[in-house]
Amino acid sequence: MAHRAAEPLVLQAPVPLSVPGALGALASPLAPLGPFASTAPVHLSVTWPGDEQPAGPAIALESREGAPHGFASWAGPALEFSGPPLPTFGLAALRGAWAAAAAAAGGTLLHGAGLLYRGEGLVVTGPPDAGKSTCAGLALAAGASLLSDELVVLFPDGTVQGTPFCSSLRAPSSPERVRCAALLTLDKAGGESVSPAAPAAFAHTLLSQVWSPEGLGLPLAEARAAALSCAGQAFCGTFAFRKHPDAGRFLLEWLDAL
């Protein structure tokens, strides 16, 4: 069964991205696309011709939970997705398209929460349950804006860009691309502090959170190199915090003084 929409959506991704309107509508409850609307000339086009797996070489799409959920294949300069008309497929396809757009711009996706404050970016990263969304929510309440609380794009020139993907927060994400002032891992504690990270331990955590799906994103070695290059131009440390409004205020005051 084919799924077509008269009006494709042009989105402000790492390179301007066109997706079928029906596919965007599927994904939008899980990845609000309104702030990412663009009128820029399209660099990468996405199609969604139907539900069946492509006859040629196909890339299995992973859902947010890691299970296969649809397929992708390259059809010349266009990226073709196939899968059922379900929000989970729409989200998996959009994440795959964003990975391809990031690769086209020389960047990589990273599991992390990105914050925007006074024109600069701050990224907190770490494994599931590290507290990324909690930390981001506290910073939002203190006056920051959200790049994303699930996936951000890191570029080797030291910049970070938001994505429409959200985890638990429901604040709108931003497509802005700004200098990444700091990359932080998280530690739950009884008070707030920021300390420089041990390079080897920080690199291990950072690289474990790089997400560059095979066939869509950069080759893994290049994706990791892009993340390390970005980190090399930012303060890298650990933010120890508690779930308290003072934690958000502390973090933004610290960023002001950085």
Distance of alpha carbon 202 from alpha carbon 168, whole angstroms: 25
Q: What is the pLDDT of residue 14?
A: 98
Distance of alpha carbon 239 from alpha carbon 219, whole angstroms: 30
Which of 104, 121, 150 is where one domain is finished?
104
Contacts of 205 (CB under 8 A, 6+ apart): 125, 126, 127, 185
Same domain, 122 and 235: yes
Reported as a single tens digit per residue, the pLDDT across 220-242 is 999 999 999 999 999 999 999 99
Q: What is the CATH number of the domain that holds 203?
A: 3.40.50
Q: Does residue 221 lie within any of the structural domains?
A: yes
Q: What is the pLDDT of residue 184?
A: 97
pLDDT band at 15 (very low <50, low <70, confident <90, very high): very high
Same domain, 148 and 201: yes
Which of 104, 139, 154 is where one domain is finished?
104
Q: What is the pLDDT of residue 65?
A: 59
Longest dimension (CA), the chain: 56
Which of 104, 119, 149 is where one domain is finished?
104
Same domain, 97 and 137: no
Same domain, 99 and 142: no
Structural domain of 172: 108-257
Same domain, 80 and 176: no
Q: Does residue 4 lie within any of the structural domains?
A: no
Q: What is the pLDDT of residue 66?
A: 57
Same domain, 86 and 150: no
Same domain, 240 and 114: yes
Compute the average pLDDT of residues 36-41: 96
Same domain, 98 and 205: no
Q: Does residue 210 lie within any of the structural domains?
A: yes
Same domain, 42 and 119: no
pLDDT band at 1 (very low <50, low <70, confident <90, very high): very low
Q: Does residue 3 lie within any of the structural domains?
A: no
Compute the average pLDDT of residues 152-171: 92
Please give the C-alpha separations between residue 176 and each of 15, 144, 213, 231, 246, in angstroms, as whole numbers: 12, 14, 23, 18, 27
Nearest to 3 by CA among 95, 64, 93: 93
Q: Does residue 2 lie within any of the structural domains?
A: no
pLDDT band at 110 (very low <50, low <70, confident <90, very high): very high
Greater model confidence, 251 or 166: 251
- Pairing mode of beta strands 235-241, 177-188: parallel
pLDDT of residue 108 exceeding 60, the answer is yes
pLDDT of residue 131 exceeding 80, the answer is yes
Compute the average pLDDT of residues 122-148: 94
Same domain, 212 and 170: yes
pLDDT of residue 142 exceeding 60, the answer is yes
Torsion sign (Cα): 190, 194, 199, 205 = positive
Same domain, 81 and 121: no
Greater model confidence, 1 or 169: 169
* Average pLDDT of the chain, as a whole number: 91
Q: Does residue 1 lie within any of the structural domains?
A: no
Distance of alpha carbon 46 from alpha carbon 238, whole angstroms: 38
For residues 183 and 125, the answer to whether their CB atoms sit within 8 Å is: yes
User: Integer distance in angstroms from the first to the last C-alpha of the chain?
Assistant: 55
pLDDT of residue 67 exceeding 60, the answer is no
Q: What is the pLDDT of residue 172?
A: 86
Q: What is the pLDDT of residue 68?
A: 59
In 50-195, where does DSSP find H-type helix?
87-104, 132-141
Greater model confidence, 213 or 53: 213
Lowest mean pLDDT among 72-81, 136-145, 150-159, 203-212: 72-81
Domain count, the chain: 2
